[in-house]
């Protein structure tokens, strides 16, 4: 990073700069251990406390390095008065801290939650700097809507979030931890057997209809969208006849600042999950969210490619779904049998491209960008503000790439201890840098490429090659398009994206 006498001013959502800090290896520690993957015998009797403190101190220092590379609050750098987020966050404001709390477990590794969830140490470090900017006046809400079959209490316990909230409250800070879901499912053998109503967001929910400003406007998938449940009627009801509405958590709408803290991972439907995809966790009902369009490209769908045996499986699945929806008393048992038969006949989704889990998914990126528009421009009464990027809600992103996930993300990834923290005040720019450093081509990932091209309710006023990277790591400085391929990582993409998004020459 080149030093100068003038400290650049961050322009909230309109700043092209993205800061990157990389954890330095420590002699005698394996990369996985140093980056934060631990097993029960790494620390001995005092494992939880020792591990948490060791990791937090390293992460706090790394975040300081990341923010310092942007020359924030330069006059106070190196002193106890240093307040790098001052001006980005102001005293008296409410800040929604949005981590990735998707699931408490990994299907293959008992310790795999550490590269599925945002690190508790990263969340804590972010909150410390935010409270410094609030100067004792303001509020932090830590909140997410995990996968519907997840245990929020277990996730929170793994990350020590209740202890974090209690410690802030003892210091006199206003801090809350919310599960934004309205419902939690109990799953048996992959099938919903119980639906438990939850209190949800204390601030309620806001239905925001983007209408013609939606990225789904004129998409042509209405009537064939598939949401989060086997009841496809619900999702299509909210995306038809010119209506494209989303149920958004009130805490996200009323917050002065959204501070997103995603985990850096590959994603089966979107290619990658970083800041843009992370906002799926502020919706109140995932069955309002189109995940893919039934069919193949030849008939306007994106469920899977043409010529991959769509016809027979689609007919079987559609018939079973109709039976299940008409027979509520038999629903769970019939669905369980259907899943077992389906796996035997057609194979698992990690091996077979289905359900939009591939690079041709032309639906999910639109839904994700719509959620970003709803949060950036939506009002508490459900109306949508007009105007340019300068009128959008402040939305910052701190990416936890210390132990990232590659391969079959987001739920079944392999660990990639990249040691990264990435911060920026413009979400598409942060996502572009994240994907590039993973070794991927942002131009070939629709959720990133199209985020720079929204004509209605813009999310950026430039294109991804013009994003500027700043870092204390010398090779990662300058326009993103000028960063040397040899200096970046080589993440393995999800099977459905393999040989499509990898950067040439990486």
Give 200-252 pLDDT, tens digit per residue.
999 999 999 999 999 999 999 999 999 977 678 999 999 999 999 999 999 99
Q: H or E stretch including 58?
A: helix 47-68
How far apart are the C-alpha atoms of 52 and 37, rounded to whole Å? 12
Q: H or E stretch including 248?
A: strand 245-249
Q: Alpha-carbon dihedral of residues 277, 279, 280, 283, nearest 10 degrees?
A: -170
**Quick one: which of 492, 451, 476, 430 has its CA closest to 367?**
451
Token duo for residue 81: 């008065």
CA 214 and chain centroid, separation: 20
pLDDT in tens, the chain (506 residues): 444 444 445 567 889 999 999 987 544 444 444 444 444 344 344 555 556 666 889 999 999 999 999 999 999 999 999 999 999 999 999 999 999 999 999 999 999 999 999 999 999 999 999 999 999 999 999 999 999 999 999 999 999 999 999 999 999 999 999 999 999 988 877 677 788 999 999 999 999 999 999 999 999 999 999 997 767 899 999 999 999 999 999 999 999 999 999 999 999 999 999 999 999 999 999 999 999 999 999 999 999 999 876 555 555 655 655 555 555 555 556 555 655 655 555 555 566 788 999 999 999 999 999 999 999 999 999 999 987 898 999 999 999 999 999 999 999 999 999 999 999 999 999 999 999 999 999 999 999 999 999 989 999 999 999 999 999 999 999 999 999 999 999 999 999 999 999 998 76
Contact 167, 127 (CB under 8 A): no
CA gyration radius, the chain = 22
Q: How many CA atoms lie within 13 A of 386 on its CB side?
A: 1
CA atoms 375, 380, 384, 390: torsion sign? negative
Distances (CA, A) of 95 to 92, 171, 277, 397: 10, 18, 19, 12
Placement of tokens 């920026």 in the chain: 424
Q: How far apart are the first and last CA of the chain?
A: 23
Q: Please write the tens of the pLDDT for every residue from 65-109.
A: 999 999 999 999 999 999 999 999 999 999 999 999 999 999 999
**Quick one: which of 232, 252, 53, 54 has its CA closest to 143?**
252
Contact 323, 268 (CB under 8 A): no
How far apart are the C-alpha atoms of 426 and 387, rounded to whole Å? 17
How far apart are the C-alpha atoms of 33 and 282, rounded to whole Å? 32
Domain boundaries, the chain: 12-215+248-286+386-497
How far apart are the C-alpha atoms of 109 and 412, rounded to whole Å? 9
How far apart are the C-alpha atoms of 356 and 233, rounded to whole Å? 18
Placement of tokens 């069955």 in the chain: 287
According to the 3-state scheme, what is the secondary structure of 275-326? HHHHHHHHECCHHHCCCEECCCHHHCCCCCCCCCCHHHHHHHHHHHHHHHHH
Interacting residues of 460 by C-beta distance below 8 A, sequence separation 6+: 389, 426, 428, 429, 451, 452, 454
**Quick one: which of 505, 455, 458, 457 has its CA closest to 485?**
505
Interacting residues of 377 by C-beta distance below 8 A, sequence separation 6+: 384, 385, 386, 387, 391, 392, 393, 457
SS3 content of the chain, % helix, strand, coil (to 5): 40, 20, 40
Contact 243, 277 (CB under 8 A): no
């Amino acid at each position: 990073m080149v030093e100068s006498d003038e400290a650049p001013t961050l322009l909230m959502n309109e700043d092209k700069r993205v800061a990157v800090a990389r954890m330095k290896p420590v002699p005698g520690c394996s990369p996985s251990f140093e980056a934060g993957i631990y097993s029960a015998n790494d620390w001995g009797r005092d494992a939880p406390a020792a591990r948490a403190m060791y990791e937090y101190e390293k992460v706090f220092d790394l975040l300081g390095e990341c923010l310092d590379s942007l020359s924030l609050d330069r006059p106070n750098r190196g002193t106890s008065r240093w307040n790098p987020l001052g001006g980005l966050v102001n005293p008296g404001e409410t800040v929604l801290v949005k981590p990735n709390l998707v699931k408490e477990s990994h299907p293959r590794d008992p310790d795999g939650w550490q590269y599925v969830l945002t690190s508790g140490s990263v969340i804590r470090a972010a909150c410390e700097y935010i409270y410094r900017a609030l100067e004792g006046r303001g509020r932090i809400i830590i909140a997410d809507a995990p996968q519907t079959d997840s245990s929020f209490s277990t996730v929170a316990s793994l990350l020590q979030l209740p202890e974090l909230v209690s410690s802030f409250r003892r210091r006199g800070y206003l801090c809350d931890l919310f599960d934004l879901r309205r419902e939690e499912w109990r799953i048996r053998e992959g099938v919903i057997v119980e639906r438990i109503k939850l209190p949800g967001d204390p601030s309620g929910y806001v239905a925001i209809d983007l209408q013609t400003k939606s990225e789904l406007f004129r998409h042509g998938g209405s009537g064939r969208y598939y949401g989060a449940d086997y009841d496809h009627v619900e999702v299509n009801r909210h995306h038809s006849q010119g209506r494209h509405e989303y149920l958004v958590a009130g805490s996200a709408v009323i917050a002065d600042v959204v501070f997103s803290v995603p985990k850096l991972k590959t994603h089966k439907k979107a290619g990658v999950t970083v800041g843009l995809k992370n906002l799926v966790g502020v919706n109140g009902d995932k069955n309002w969210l189109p995940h893919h369009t039934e069919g193949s490209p030849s008939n306007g769908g994106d469920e899977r490619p043409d010529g991959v045996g769509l016809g027979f499986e689609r007919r079987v699945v559609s018939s079973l779904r109709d039976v299940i929806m008409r027979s509520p008393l038999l629903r769970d048992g019939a669905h369980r049998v259907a899943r077992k038969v389906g796996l035997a006949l057609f194979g698992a989704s990690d091996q077979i491209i289905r359900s939009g889990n591939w690079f041709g998914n032309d639906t999910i990126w639109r839904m994700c960008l719509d959620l970003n528009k709803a949060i950036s421009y939506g009002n508490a009464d459900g109306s949508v503000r007009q105007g340019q990027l300068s009128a959008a809600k402040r939305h910052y992103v701190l990416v936890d790439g210390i132990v990232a996930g590659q391969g079959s993300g987001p739920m079944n990834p392999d660990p990639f201890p990249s040691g990264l923290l990435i911060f920026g005040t413009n979400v598409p720019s942060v996502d572009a840098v994240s994907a590039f450093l993973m070794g991927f081509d942002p131009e070939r990932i629709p959720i990133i490429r199209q985020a720079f091209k929204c004509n209605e309710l813009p999310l950026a006023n430039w294109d991804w090659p013009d994003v500027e990277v700043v870092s204390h790591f010398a090779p990662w400085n300058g326009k993103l398009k000028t960063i040397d391929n040899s200096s970046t990582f080589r993440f393995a993409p999800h099977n459905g994206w393999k040989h499509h998004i990898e950067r040439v020459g990486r």
